[in-house]
Structure 1
Amino acid sequence: MWALRRASNPLKNRGLSIRTSRAYCDKSEVPSVHLDDKASNGDFCLAISEGHTFLKRFYRASHGSPKSFVGQCSFSSQADSESSTQEDDNLEDGFSELETPANAKVVQDSHADEGNEDELISDLELSEDEDDDVEADITEKKSQKRASSALFDAIMGAPGLSVQSALDNWVEGGNELTRPEISSAMVNLRKRRMYGRALQVSEWLESTKRLDFGERDYASRLDLIAKVRGLLKAESYIDKIPKSLRGEVIYRTLLANCVATNNVKKAEEVFNKMKDLEFPITCFACNQLLLLYKRLDKKKIADVLLLMEKGNVKPSRFTYRLLIDTKGQSNDINGMEQIVETMKAEGIELDLHTQSILAKHYVSGGVKEKAESILNDMEGGDIKGNRLACRTLLPLYAALGKGDEVERVWKACESNPRIDECLAAIEAWGKLNRVVEAEAVFGRMKKTWKKLNAKHYSTLLKVYANHKMLTQGKDLVKQMADSGCRIGPLTWDAVVKLYVGAGEVEKADSILQKVAQQNHMKPMFVSYMAIMDQYARRGDVHNSEKIFHRMRQDGYMGRMRQFQSLMQAYIVAKAPAYGMRERMKADNLFPNNVVAGHLASVDAFRKTAASDLFD
């Protein structure tokens, strides 16, 4: 216990005291963790045993988070965003880390559109799909290789008919509707993010009673409803599931979708509901909360770790991955390495995925020697025989500025490249300011694969945006439209940054508003922030407030990053910001050191040396 107190001492400066205020007495014997009503400077005291060591490792070094105030909660929604703007930039642009594996191969003849781009690009390096835990843990488990499905082809080959009609015709044609055939079709629909069609398939199966639904089939249906119609519809659907089949899988599916949409309050409600129903607290459920708090409220990570400790929930590889990445984002290299040591001590070896996270943070932390050592380990001495590592190595070598290494790795792929390797190569050449090489790889893609989707175009579009190549970017967008490629939030983000980089922020603002209204789709968080930050730098309070309001209308609220940018606009304009502190409080946000300084600068009633003379 004393060792734990010592390991926790660096957290004193955060003004946070966490305690186990009462035991939640149920069969799982998992405590209900509360945060103190009042901020204090007391020790970070956790009444836990000497069991797992990952808690100690995680808190051996400080996150560097400034003081803050946290109100009482029992996993209630007190979303205090992290102070690090880097994390906001990296994580708040998207939602479902678990939907797309980092090393997932893009299907060459994909029919995927960009309808849910914001699910594609957040925290891809932290996918849990590589472990046994899967987001919805449903019947149609994701496969890295395309499963052939005649039923899927029939669904896709009937554009003028509804999915139900295509299914009716399939059965009337004498085709056998087996569970493997259904599962294969659902896998293909999900891989292409055609959730609406997949939901129609599920509804048809249930209404026609062609399939005897079990708990996992209902979980699959629940997952699709959440993705297509929202959390409220999904939650109400649970009441329609037979009571005997409303098990832990059902609720963890809902929990995962709450996390996917960054809905802290609803995620905590579902988690507490699972405890009330006396379901066992699983590593999957805890990982979901860790994932959520990693983005929005790092202080609550301690609560989840305490629950795992008390409930004797053994951390998975994904748990360690989350903690390693959290330490890395705080630039706590020593703390990150201590988590790795604990992971190894528990018998979990570093896989390619975890190595890539370590290497990324070594690069960003300026520890180049260790980054290169990790990259050498990832290669394994034979890059041609280790093609899985290529797509990860390319951008990492580029981040180190090693153009020769990028060339070497790309040559190992060039004779027969995979599409994900091409995308990684485009990204790498872009980082090295070698746009011609990036364009050459894209040209190779267009010749090799007849149909490219918006994600493929957007990779090169980002390169143009980063190099302020407005004309080339416009031409590429025109090519996308001419090819019949559906353009969505991921492409909008690249276009926004293209115009912002060219100094045309008003044009970027206009485009984003127009496409969002026409397509009835929500732009990404980072797209809004790219525009808002530019207005803030100009001291344009009016337009900064306008973007702030639009973000709230789209559900982006309760995030410190937005208030920081908004206050910057007032600071540059040298204008008072009336009621800013109250606005933050209404969103359950409480200022850290940086934000407190901004608030003091824009306080209309602040005292100064000059004002004291005349009072």
Structure 2
Amino acid sequence: MNWTRLLSLPKSCPRFFGVFPLSTQTLTDAASQSTDSLYKRVSTLGDPRVSIVPVLEKWVEEGRKVQNWDLRSMVKQLRNHRRFKHALEISQWMADQRRVGLSGGDIAVRLDLICKVHGLEHAEKYFNEIPQESKNLKTYGALLNCYAQEKYIEKAETLFEKMKELGLDKPLAYNALMKVYYLSGQHEKLDMLMQGMEQKGIPQDKYAFCIRMSAYTAISDIDGMENILKKMEKDPKIIMDWDVYSLAAVGYTKVGSVDKALAMLKKLEGLITVKKRVAYDFLLTLYAGLGQKDEIYRIWDLYKSLPEKLNNASYLNMINSLLKLDDIEGAEKIVDDWDSGCTVYDFRVPNRLILAYCKNGLLTKAESFVNKALERGKTPNVITWYCLAMAYMEDKQISKAAESMKKAMLVAYPGWRLNPDFPAKCLEHFVGQGDVEGAEEFVRLLRPLVPLTRDVYHRLLRTYITAGKPVSCVLNQMKTDGLEPDKETQEILEPLDTVI
């Protein structure tokens, strides 16, 4: 069973690209740091399927004030926690309901959010509808970043040329195009672009150097990475901070240079002055990658000493780091600590431990954890039930696997995908029981999630035959789904003397 695809551990990524080690999609930090209960109401609404607009409107209906700066702050917080749909809703509500004029920065943020939520085509449409007088370096740069994320090289290059015509060929534009080349793997064009900047006297900032460092790291070119790092350290205009050294640590870790990676982490730690949470998250992840359990616990003690209350993301990162080193006992203690004080019980946190139980043959522990949570009124999510279903399947407990799979499908969110071969195995339970109603319900829940395979229909046919039910409706639906009966289908139907 491929467990790694189910809950992949977060990777250490440079935050220059807007990628954070993890997110539990809550705003616990914002809520805990502000007495404004609007933050608290927003923070508890983590389900992206639920609109955040009613929360805002109810706040206004209660006669409470909403400051524009407060809304912009929430948009920023939501983006940082990758709650893009909710951030976009606030941005739209701010403009549509409050008639707030959007600045160039607001428009750029809106563009980025539209691309992430609705796709590039919608982002381009929004950009084309922006009045020309409202377009500036930030808005063009935002669209260029959209092309970078989608790896549309030709469109990015065309837009870049347009920006040059408009006199907007500033460091931001070059950095965005460098990002395009980096993400698309065209690293050879990075040096050409940086040389062009030098020829035009356009200063290369920390962002540009870090993109080049990341490209060298991606191909394990440590000499190239070190040359860029030395150049940055010698440049008086570049302020070296912890995230630069985190890139170097990732590069050294990738090629197995543990001592050099640890040296970078020590430098990194000495430069942490602000955004300590983000820095500690990186340190936990990086030390886990180096197998440094003692260092993980040391950083965790520093994390806990911060004045702000630990949030779900903090705990999740610590749990991930320990489980990467197979420290299940340590992860259990962290989960217990989280459970005793969490304000938002997000099942994604204990899911990491449940997965570890299932991967390591500790199914009884996984069952016990979920049952105790249910007794306390907690609600497992789709991943919880899917983990159990997979574990039951491996343990040959097909009946329990099928029931857990049904529970997973009942709470599945739009876009969730499962292994298409797995449901067919669950259907074996219904075949053996001749349980037509159970099989039909299972298939009904399955249909919105994955295309029904021929294997699924064949097992459904066997269920009908075992129960002595007519199979014509199954055959008709099979044909409707574009699956013509084959030799195996005929073999299944032979006992019935059915002619297809």
Pairwise mapping of residues 435-454 of structure 1 onto structure 2 (< 5 A)?
A: 435-453=328-346
Is the Cα contact below 8 Å between 1:473 and 1:495 reproduced in 2?
A: no
Give the match for residue 291 of structure 1: 179
Per-residue CA deviation, residues 438-489 of structure 1 (Å, 9 max, x unaligned), is 222122112221324355345445655775766666777888997346658x
One-letter amino acid matched to 1:326: A
* Structure (1 or 2) with the larger CA radius of gyration: 2
The reply to whether residue 274 of structure 1 matches residue 163 of structure 2 is yes
Gaps of 5+ in 2: 1-7, 423-449, 451-500
Pairwise mapping of residues 164-563 of structure 1 onto structure 2 (< 5 A)?
A: 167=56, 170-171=59-60, 173-208=62-97, 210-276=99-165, 278-297=166-185, 298-347=187-236, 348-380=238-270, 390-413=280-303, 418-419=310-311, 420-453=313-346, 455-457=348-350, 459-460=352-353, 463=356, 467=360, 483-484=378-379, 519-521=413-415
One-letter amino acid matched to 1:281: D
Percent identical: 24
Gaps of 5+ in 1: 1-88, 111-142, 532-552, 554-615
Counterparts of 1:381 and 1:98, CA distance in 2: 20
In structure 2, the CA distance between the partners of 1:405 and 1:202, relative to structure 1 (3 Å rule), is: closer
Is the Cα contact below 8 Å between 1:470 and 1:502 reproduced in 2?
A: no
Give the match for residue 77 of structure 1: none
Counterparts of 2:98 and 2:369, CA distance in 1: 48
> Cα offset for 1:343?
0.8
One-letter amino acid matched to 1:283: P
Is the Cα contact below 8 Å between 2:108 and 2:142 reproduced in 1?
A: yes
- What is the TM-score when the length of structure 1 is the normalising length? 0.52
One-letter amino acid matched to 1:375: L
In structure 2, the CA distance between the partners of 1:295 and 1:279, relative to structure 1 (3 Å rule), is: same
Per-residue CA deviation, residues 343-384 of structure 1 (Å, 9 max, x unaligned), is 11212343222222222322332323322322333344999x
Q: Helix, strand or coil for the counterpart of 2:129?
A: coil
One-letter amino acid matched to 1:252: G
Is the Cα contact below 8 Å between 1:147 and 1:187 reproduced in 2?
A: no
Give the match for residue 440 of structure 2: none
Is the Cα contact below 8 Å between 1:516 and 1:522 reproduced in 2?
A: no
> Cα offset for 1:434?
2.0
Is the Cα contact below 8 Å between 1:151 and 1:182 reproduced in 2?
A: no
Is the Cα contact below 8 Å between 1:283 and 1:314 reproduced in 2?
A: yes
Q: Helix, strand or coil for the counterpart of 1:433?
A: coil
> Cα offset for 1:342?
0.6
In structure 2, the CA distance between the partners of 1:163 and 1:304, relative to structure 1 (3 Å rule), is: same
Q: Helix, strand or coil for the counterpart of 1:239?
A: helix
- What is the TM-score when the length of structure 2 is the normalising length? 0.62
Counterparts of 1:246 and 1:502, CA distance in 2: 57
In structure 2, the CA distance between the partners of 1:229 and 1:379, relative to structure 1 (3 Å rule), is: closer
Pairwise mapping of residues 563-602 of structure 1 onto structure 2 (< 5 A)?
A: none
Per-residue CA deviation, residues 495-527 of structure 1 (Å, 9 max, x unaligned), is 59x87x9799xx9xxx8xx9699643266xxx9
One-letter amino acid matched to 2:263: S
Is the Cα contact below 8 Å between 1:426 and 1:438 reproduced in 2?
A: yes
Counterparts of 1:387 and 1:92, CA distance in 2: 16
Per-residue CA deviation, residues 88-140 of structure 1 (Å, 9 max, x unaligned), is x9999999974454599985748xxxxxxxxxxxxxxxxxxxxxxxxxxxxxx
Counterparts of 1:316 and 1:166, CA distance in 2: 41
One-letter amino acid matched to 1:521: G
Is the Cα contact below 8 Å between 2:250 and 2:286 reproduced in 1?
A: yes
Provide the alpha-carbon RMSD of the alignment: 5.1
Counterparts of 1:299 and 1:369, CA distance in 2: 30
Is the Cα contact below 8 Å between 1:426 and 1:460 reproduced in 2?
A: yes
Is the Cα contact below 8 Å between 1:438 and 1:460 reproduced in 2?
A: yes
Per-residue CA deviation, residues 517-560 of structure 1 (Å, 9 max, x unaligned), is 9643266xxx99xx9xxxxxxxxxxxxxxxxxxxxx9xxxxxxx
